[in-house]
Structure 1
Amino acid sequence: MTEKRLWLLDVLRGAALLNMLAYHALYDWVYVFGHTGGWYDIWSPGCHVWQQYICWSFILLSGYSFTLARRPLKNGLLVAGCAVVLTVVTAGFLPSESIWFGVLHLNAAAVLLSCLLRPLLEKCPAGAGLAACAVLFALTNQVQEGYLGFESLRLCPLPAAWYHTNLFWLGLPDLTKFSSADYFPLIPWLFLFWCGLFLARLWRPRAGRAPAALRPLACVGRHTLLVYMLHQPVIYGALWLWHTVC
């Protein structure tokens, strides 16, 4: 089976997962258990770039992988179920870190929407689709903050009335009453997912076995959902034990 896989995708997923594990371990250590962060500050430019690399790589690779899935609808429903479990667990056991529409919710919604819109997406030329989605992602990058623009570049404000109904799943949250420890609304992130989908039609790496040095990373990348679901309980449990014993 490994001879038929696109091993580079597995390696890239594995690298993103390891970065996520390190990032979340530091987050829990500093912001959940209250230890001094030193250089780790989620508001610093360096940590922001690190966090965005993890997010971008996961979502792009998810969109790319959609084109390779034999049963995308089943995959989308499985991820949706995992997202519901994540919300129930975080809201029930760690309310301050509740996740209402995180990356799993986004991934499930993006997969299910892409299944529904697949005939239209397949009719769109890959190059034009990639360019359009990249532009839309950049323009709507800060919609949840109330304006069009990318990062700190503010092009124009959006009507405040759009946010009163708190359509947080879409990207129009009422920030006076909505918060989520992990937040990835459809706008802008669906466009990045579709960037990966269109990219897959333009470029396909060679299939085969990963080089020996990269096989552990590829193995991790082949079990993305399992690692994602288990990583926070394992990290939190290990840090709680360390904090309690030491």
Structure 2
Amino acid sequence: MALYHGSWNATFLGLASFDLLGDPLWLAARTVILSSFLLLAGVSLVLASRGGLDPLRFLRRLAMLAAAAVAVSLSSYLLFPDSPIFFGVLHHLAVASILGLVFVRLPGLVTLAAALAVGLVGDTLSFPAFDQPWLIWVGMATVPPNSNDYVPLFPWFSGVLAGIALARLWPGIGRGEAPAGGIGRALAWGGRHSLSVYLVHQPVLFGLFWLAAQAVGTEPATVREFHASCIAACTQSGGGLDQCQANCRCVQRELTRAGQWEAFLADRLDGPGRQSIGEAVRSCGGG
């Protein structure tokens, strides 16, 4: 997970150019990482209810998940307003923890069949009715939303159900010896505090990669995309490459001076902001 997020940070900040959304290997890596999260959540739900579910402990954990999910959403709306996280892995885990209670006492094969059904339905069916914003979390929309972390109920709840089924079919799971050695104890500590690790590691990594990007002078992916599209449009209109590069840098400079650059990148320009674009283009020789 940390390696994947580090690769995302490096790409976003211009330190690398990993094709995280198109390369089959990166897509497979994301699937494996996310599936392992959900599988272990299902196993943990069974382990937590083996001797009878402790309602207070369950509700405390659920409240922590919900609070963490809200914090992630608020942070994403501030940092990435064009692709916020409104139903990511933490949101999913909070909902799945409630729904999973229905299955923790069912036979493992029944839950395994339910997992296969959820995965199949989520991968094959979609309906326009689920395109509504308040239903997009279900996962059966015809058009996926633009989000940096989207983990809808279908098909991903199948991972939690698979974990529940595994724990039901393997009664001895979770009863091994405590790990020995420094590395083993460190991994065990991380497992016991996985939510804290999840919440802390990405801000720390992003900050470190941001410092590295500042040190070497790279540009974020959104800035590179702007320059690429701006130069392409300019050269297609008959401009020379050098002049187009200068004009596009000028537009960025003028929008920054007008306080509209960040809003432009996030596609959140209001009327005065759109007027600033026109003025910047004209002043930079774009007509």
For the aligned pair, the TM-score class normalised by the smaller chain equals: 0.7 to 0.9
Identify the match of residue 171 of structure 1 among 123, 139, 163: 139
Cα offset, 1:226, TM superposition? 0.2
Contact 1:73 1:111 in 2 (8 A): no
Contact 2:118 2:155 in 1 (8 A): yes
State the match for 2:13 in structure 1. Answer: 33
The 1:209/1:233 distance shift into structure 2, 3 A limit, reads: same
Map 1:195-234 → 2, pairs under 5 A: 195-203=162-170, 204-212=173-181, 213-234=183-204
SS of the equivalent of 1:169 reads: helix
State the match for 1:240 in structure 2. Answer: 210
SS of the equivalent of 1:99 reads: coil
State the match for 2:274 in structure 1. Answer: none
Map 1:1-246 → 2, pairs under 5 A: 20-30=1-11, 32-37=12-17, 40-69=19-48, 70=54, 71-115=57-101, 117=102, 121-130=103-112, 132-142=113-123, 148=124, 158-159=126-127, 161-166=128-133, 167-173=135-141, 175=143, 178-203=145-170, 204-212=173-181, 213-246=183-216
Cα offset, 1:58, TM superposition? 0.5
Render the CA deviation track for 1:203-232: whole Å, top value 9, x for unaligned.
114333113253322222221100111112
Gaps of 5+ in 2: 49-53, 217-287
Contact 1:165 1:174 in 2 (8 A): no
The 1:164/1:141 distance shift into structure 2, 3 A limit, reads: closer
Q: Letter of the 2:71 partner, please give it.
A: V
Cα offset, 1:77, TM superposition? 1.9
Cα offset, 1:105, TM superposition? 0.3
Cα offset, 1:174, TM superposition? 6.0
SS of the equivalent of 1:208 reads: coil
Task: Give the TM-score, by structure 2 length.
Answer: 0.65
The 1:139/1:242 distance shift into structure 2, 3 A limit, reads: same
SS of the equivalent of 1:42 reads: coil
State the match for 2:267 in structure 1. Answer: none
Render the CA deviation track for 1:5-61: whole Å, top value 9, x for unaligned.
xxxxxxxxxxxxxxx00001111111x2123326x5431111111111101100000
Contact 1:83 1:105 in 2 (8 A): yes
The 1:222/1:77 distance shift into structure 2, 3 A limit, reads: same
Task: Give the TM-score, by structure 1 length.
Answer: 0.75
Render the CA deviation track for 1:141-186: whole Å, top value 9, x for unaligned.
42xxxxx1xxxxxxxx644x3334241111134638x321101111
Question: What is the rounded CA distance, in whole Å, between the counterparts of 1:129 and 1:107 in structure 2?
Answer: 17
- Percent identity reads 33
The 1:97/1:202 distance shift into structure 2, 3 A limit, reads: same
The 1:90/1:158 distance shift into structure 2, 3 A limit, reads: closer
SS of the equivalent of 1:90 reads: helix
Q: Quote the RMSD (CA, aligned, Å).
A: 2.1
SS of the equivalent of 2:157 reads: helix
Cα offset, 1:107, TM superposition? 0.2
Question: What is the rounded CA distance, in whole Å, between the counterparts of 1:122 and 1:168 in structure 2?
Answer: 27
Render the CA deviation track for 1:96-146: whole Å, top value 9, x for unaligned.
44211000000011112334x3xxx2552222222x12321431242xxxx
Q: Letter of the 1:124 partner, please give it.
A: L
Q: Letter of the 2:28 partner, please give it.
A: V
Q: Letter of the 2:6 partner, please give it.
A: A
